[in-house]
Structure 1
Amino acid sequence: MASKPQKMPKVAKVKDKSPAEMQITAEQLLREAKERELEIVPPPPRQKIADPEELQEYRLKKRRAFEDNIRKNRGNVSNWLKYSKWEEEQGEIRRARSVYERALDVEHRNITLWLKYAEMEMKSRQVNHARNVWDRAVTILPRASQFWYKFTYMEEMLRNVAGAREIFERWMEWEPDEQAWQTYIKFELRYKELDRARTIYEKYVYVHPEVKNWIKYARFEENHSYINSCRRVYERAVQFYGDDHMDESLFVAFAKFEEGQKEHDRSKAIYKYALDHMPKEQCTTLYNEYTRHEKKFGDRTSIDDVITSKRKFQYEEALKENILDYDTWFDYVRMLEAGGTVDLIRETYERAIACIPPVKEKKHWRRYIYLWIYYALFEECVTKDMERTREVYNMCLQLIPHKLFTFAEIWLLYAKFEIRRKNLTAARKALGRAIGMCPKHKLFRGYIDLEIKLREFDRCRKLYEKWVLFDPENCKCWIQFATLEAMLSDMERARAIYELSVAQPRLDMPEYMWKAYIDFEVEQEEWPRVRALYERLLQRTQHVKVWLSYARTEQSINNTGERPRKIYQKANNILRSCEEKEQRIMLLEAWKEYEQICGSEASLDKVKAMMPRRVTKRKQVTASDGQTTRWEECVDYIFPDDETAKPSLMLLAKAKEWMKKKQEAEESGTTETVQSEASQTLANSLAAVAESSDSQATEGNQSDPQLSEKERESQRIIQQMFQEDVGERDPSEAEQTYDPNLDKDDSDVEIGSSGSSSSSSSDSSSSDSEDEVKITKKERVRKKMEMFRERQKAKAAEKEDQ
């Protein structure tokens, strides 16, 4: 009966397929199973072997297991080592040896396998077997130093010194590392075989030709008191390396050896030889040791030589970094000049001047050119080689690009050198060539000083003429030219030179020129000329210092005269319009001092009345950004005549307003209305002026009648207004209502308001009648104002009738 096929269980439907909150992994399941092992697994039972049969059975079982493991993986050395170790523990040396041999057939280059094999033979005291193993090992792996070390150690422990030496010789044939050679040497030294050790060193220093090995060889000889042999070793080492592979440590050791043997001269010679033949950058330690040696055993000269050589090395290093560092070149040559040879100094100078600046700009050549100067002075003063000195100067002058710039110092030094050589013609020729190629003020000055010392004054005059033609704006050359003529007592020529100089259209320091001219005339006591010069200078400038100098000069001529007072008064009147009030204050202070010394009480009080009043004001200052402003306090000075001039300033403002309205009316065509309004405004202004002028008329001010610019402008505009007003009327009416004398009197009033003298009012009164003289200025002004108003009213009424 056929069996029915089994039905597969239905797969349960998963309703929720979202991931669980806690994920379970296979590692977690295994770990939890391990952690939950509550039962303690007992160790395998200890097997007790009671008879040889059980022992054989146990060994057979273990060997079968080891063989199975080896069969599975023959390349695993640990299986072979475990197997051989177990056989060794069982006392089966032959079987263990067999296992090692089988393993070596598989891995004959495994160092551990050979080491374990040889150690097993040594533990079992199988010396010959151990020798065979070590011999086979060093034959197969001669570069494995462990085999050689253990092989020689075993032979030495067996007191087989000859055998150990033979093994070392075999090893040295392979030229091993330095440690192997040192081990061989120490082996020979343990048995006092110095000759054999020396022979080993001879081979050693050639197999490993390093400086430290030569030093070890030399110290070996020194430690065993073979001094001559030690010295020969050092000498051979120096010869061996030659000049191409020199090392400072070798020379330091050699020098210290000689120092220890009290051979200080030989030690010093070694240091010097090394410093002369080795590159400077490799001699840092050598320099320090040499310095120490000389400080300890040398004299002062030798110590200086050491320090010089050390500094020389430092300078060379600095110049390698920047060969255009001229300050380093200066220090270098100065050091060499203090104690170097002439050839070395000259060579250094040649190296220095060969470092030409790459850019042809004077600022880059300023330091460089002094190398040539020092070189020339060295050749002249130290070596006394005059031809070479002249050659240095000529080479320098040929090198300088004179079309771009020049150095007057070089030309002057060359000329002075030729003069010292009594070659005056060559000196003049050189300076003439310099002035022709590249004229400079210093060249002219130096050439002229030279000719003055030679008392060649005609040549000096020619040079000064060329100088002023070269730069006519330079005041110094004019002054020095005139000073030369004055020194030669040719005053007319000096005065003519001064006249030419002040007549120049442009001067770099004209005030310096005028001062020199005035001082010249003062020295000659030509006082009329001095006054004329001051008057000419005041036509050019109105600076307060000129006025003060003028007044003090007059004061020095005649302390009690009136000239200084008139100068002060005139300067005060002119400086009224100056915006810089400090200048006027300086003038008044000087005037006050003069009156205190030479004046009277009345004149002093008059000057004191002119002194300003110091006030503090606030002004708005705009910041640099042009947006924000701030207020700051400033000190200002208010003079008394500034306060009295306010009505005149108000009248001037009204007059300007009238002119402006007139121009606007001419453009728009409404001239009559504007003129009437302007006339009324002017009348009001005149009334204000009349009230303020009454007090001024009674003061009797005795100042200069010269008008300021603002007052003259005010008078001009007022006269124009009256003339235009009268011109529009009939001639007969104008004759009846307009009196020229009144305008003249009015101008006197205006002048008086600005500080005019009483003399001007007396001149105007002489032209009036006797009745008008008795009328005060205030009445005349009021009378004129009434006439002006009536005229305006009549004019307006006439226009209404028309």
Structure 2
Amino acid sequence: MEHTMGGKTKMPKIAKVNNKAPAPVQITAEQLLREAKERELELLPPPPKRKITDPQELEEYKLKKRKGFEDLLRKNKSSIQNWIKYAAFEDSMKEIQRARSVYERGIDVAHRCIPLWLKYAEMEMRNKQINHARNIWDRAVTILPRANQFWYKYAYMEEMVGNVAGCRQVFERWMEWEPDEQAWHSYINFELRYKEVERARQVHEKFVYIHPDIKNWVKYARFEERFGYIIKGRQVFERAVEFYGEDHMEPNLFVNFARFEERQKEYERARVIYKYAIDRIDKQLAGDLFKAYTIFEKKFGNRSGIENVIVSKRKFQYEEEVKANPHNYDAWFDYLRLSEDEGDVESTREVYERAISNIPLVTQKRHWRRYIYLWINYALYEELESKDMERARDVYKACLDVIPHRKFTFAKIWIMFAHFEIRQKDVTQARKIFGVAIGKCPKDKLFRQYIELELQLREFDRCRILYERFLETASDNCTTWCRFAELETLLGDVDRARAIYEIAVDQPRLDMPELLWKAYIDFELEQDEKDNARKLYERLLDRTQHIKVWLSYATFEATGSDNSAFNRAREVYKKANSSLKNSEAKEERLMLLEAWKKFETEHGDETSQNQINRLMPKRVKKRRKVTTEGGIDAGWEEYYDYIFPEEEEAQPNLKLLAMAKMWKAKKEEGDSDSDDSSDEDSASDDENRTVAGPSGSNDA
């Protein structure tokens, strides 16, 4: 505010912002509003429920609420929710006439609002004012005839009050607007509920010409069939065929027509329908028609009657494809599937032999994958379809002879062969197969399947031997070491399991050492050997100083509930901090300090909390030059760095820079004060004033 001192006008002093950098934590307006709302909800208790018994007080309450609603409507008359809430209030007060008045006023404002009409009519129905509700529905469907909700609820109300004729009249008025298919189905189901089959047929007649889809004609025919009108159902299909004509013949229509005749045991009629459609429909669109015709002939006719039409044509197509490219294994799969469907075992075997004779020309595994599946399908066909077990065994053996095991192999073949022998109850042969497999190609999958087999047979000594053999070939596989130790643990041999873990952690090379050490520590904890687990942590820290190991160690020590456990955990945090102090991993050290701070917050006292707070670093923004891989300068980028207390003490330049900033800020404030004082009256200079210094103290 402006004020006058000594005849002169003094302008208000504007605070000068020295630091114009953005705040480290940005807060959005949305967050401020959300926090304000949450605090408002926390502070304000829910309004008490009150029950008004005095008529005068009730009238005053009604008058107050009505005035509030009217004020809202004067502010925003187009808000439909305000009209609905106003009318709902009047309805709750049993003021039906007032509620009607509110709804009518709302309809005058927004007569095309569907929810408003629905609430209005539902209020009348809820108060059993059927004629009023009927009047509202009539007005609604007249103004908004395309709103299906009105018609559905109107018809439902008429049916619920027993006015069947009125409900039918509503449906008739609705059908004049040619609504969607579901509306017609609702009308048909309504007539069927009251056994009006003839009326339902008339609705179907109109329906199939307004929505002339194949599925609607089929539903019409099934309707006639369900009520025993077979001739009428056949006439519906015939009319549908005539309706579409030969230029737009649909395979699905003929399939359903033929199945209709099939259900009536008119097999010759069905066969004629299939042949008529096959001769006239494009072969590229008749896939489902061919399939249905084949199934029909399998059931009721001679298969040889359609081989020349379907099978021969497809066989010729596949023969052309495999002749053009004998290594097109996808074409061989289709050819074999067709041959298997025929049911001729010898013919199928011949096709299989021709297919597997086309060995890939390149000795790379990715080119052999599709080829190997030919052998797999061949073996499964011999086992499951032709039931020739000896021939299936020969197929597996021939396949294993073809694969170049020195370059690559397929563990799936070995496993399937062994499982085949198990199904033949020959466990010895299955073991031999697994033994040959791991001798030629010791893959992890083969060892695991072999061990799984022996586990199911409860041959634990064999499992031990297999694990030892497995670890001889892959001593760096931590998963295998863990499973071996778990097996011994399940068998109750704790010392043997511990010895396995010891051997594992002493290996010079491991693929996932963290998994192994974790399993070893968990094992000791399961055995309630906390001292052993503590020793393991110490041994692990001798090998690696990873932050996760320190955090896990500290968490382990803090699991107890006494002060000694907390002191041990605190010592771990101190050692970790000392270890990471000399490293360049500032983010890991920050992670450690944050975990330590959380620990002290939960279990420490004020002294320990202050101690950890003094160790926390400062977050500063820095810039560095960015260069591309080719050595081209790409400009500068900003990044955040952390300065720990010992670094800040070791760099006196930082202190000097901070003092320079404070001196500059103090000098600028002093200049601004001298400028202001030159304009004041000399008499006012003797008055007491206070000026804030840069350190926050007051100088008189």
Q: TM-score, normalised by structure 1?
A: 0.43
Q: Which has the larger radius of gyration?
A: 1
Higher RCO (CA 8 Å, separation ≥ 6 residues): 2
TM-score, normalised by the number of residues in structure 2: 0.50
